[in-house]
Amino acid sequence: MTELLKTHGLSKTFGGLAAVSGVDLAVEEGEIHCLIGPNGAGKSTLFKLIMGTYPPSAGTITFRGTNVTEERPYQRVKKGLSIKMQTPSIFKELPVRQNIHIALQHHVTKQQLPTEEDRLLGMLELTSDATKAAGALSHGQQQWLEIGMALALKPSLLLMDEPTAGMSPEETFRTGELIQKLNSGGTTILVVEHDMAFVRQIAQRVTVLHFGKVFARGSISEILADPRVAEIYLGKTHDH
Ligand code: ADP
Ligand code: MG
């Protein structure tokens, strides 16, 4: 097993608050790794540290054996890191195909463009909606289009922050299938998720974050069987 991404002692404080605190995380090449934890646990902050949106207060980030802690976000993207943010940033007034076209245009040759567009549209099951304005798609389809735009960069590691937020159970399940399809195609995936049914559907390994620290880690069955993990979920008040 090769470690694609590794963080060591990664920390981020905001004022006096330790949002992320001494996190050691390893993502193996080829896996689907889920990051779970109650609201405010530091999951999104950890993602922003990995992508380089924030500089860490302490610790290191290694990608493919290279220390990228000091690198700018675009340099990390060039190395194969890509993120699907929580809020879609698609161009709603433009056709679906045009959105994919824009995402792809600097990454493939002019000759390859139509083929690559077709391939992505097919994978996202958006072929029959290609000429629709992106804003006319369902909420779930807009999220898939956003995933497609992140994929245009051909990432080796795709980070997804709550990809099923606001989706129907049917859309959530199909998102799980899409993630598994991407993973079979060779993309390593690190996903933040709340929906435990969804985590059960896709996860191979799970890391649990609580108050900015790694609280537990293991296979999905180990995590589901861990009474301490159940407690931090049940012990919290529903705030979203
Ligand atoms: P999660 O994604 O697990 O819900 P976050 O990473 O968004 O958690 O937040 C972790 C903690 O850090 C929370 O207490 C949040 O209020 C705080 N936090 C996140 N971003 C900032 C910021 N830019 N400035 C100050 N505090 C922040
Ligand atoms: Mg978050």
Residue 106: the pLDDT is: 82
Looking at the structure, tell me whether residues 76 and 127 fall in a common domain.
Answer: no
Note whether 193 and 228 are same-domain residues. Answer: yes
3-state secondary structure of 125: coil
Report which bound ligand comes closest to the CA of 50: 1
Q: For residue range 8-56, list pLDDT tens digits in order.
A: 999 999 999 999 999 999 999 999 999 999 999 999 999 999 999 999 9
Whether residue 93 sits in one domain with residue 50: no
Kindly state if the Cβ of 42 falls inside 6 Å of ligand 1: yes
* Domain ranges, residue 145: 88-154
Considering the domain architecture, whether residues 55 and 92 belong to the same structural domain is answered as no
Residues having C-beta closer than 5 Å to ion ligand 2: 44
pLDDT digits (tens, 9 = 90+) for 59-81: 999 999 999 999 999 999 999 99
Give yes or no: residues 196 and 108 share one domain: no
Q: How far is the CA of 42 from the centre of ligand 1 (A)?
A: 6
Indicate if 132 and 231 belong to the same structural domain: no
Q: Nearest C-alpha to atom 24 of ligand 1 is from which residue?
A: 14
- Asked whether residue 21 falls in the same domain as residue 122, the answer is no
Q: How many A from CA of 161 to the centre of ligand 2?
A: 7
Into how many domains does the chain fold? 2
What is the number of residues in the chain? Answer: 240
Tell me if 21 CB under 6 Å of ligand 1. no
Structure tokens at 130: 């290609």
Any atom of ligand 1 within 6 Å of the Cβ of 40: yes
Dist. CA 60–CA 169, nearest whole Å: 38
- List, run by run, the mean pLDDT of 10-residue segments along the chain (240 residues): 94 96 97 95 96 97 97 93 77 96 90 94 95 95 91 90 91 94 94 90 95 96 92 61
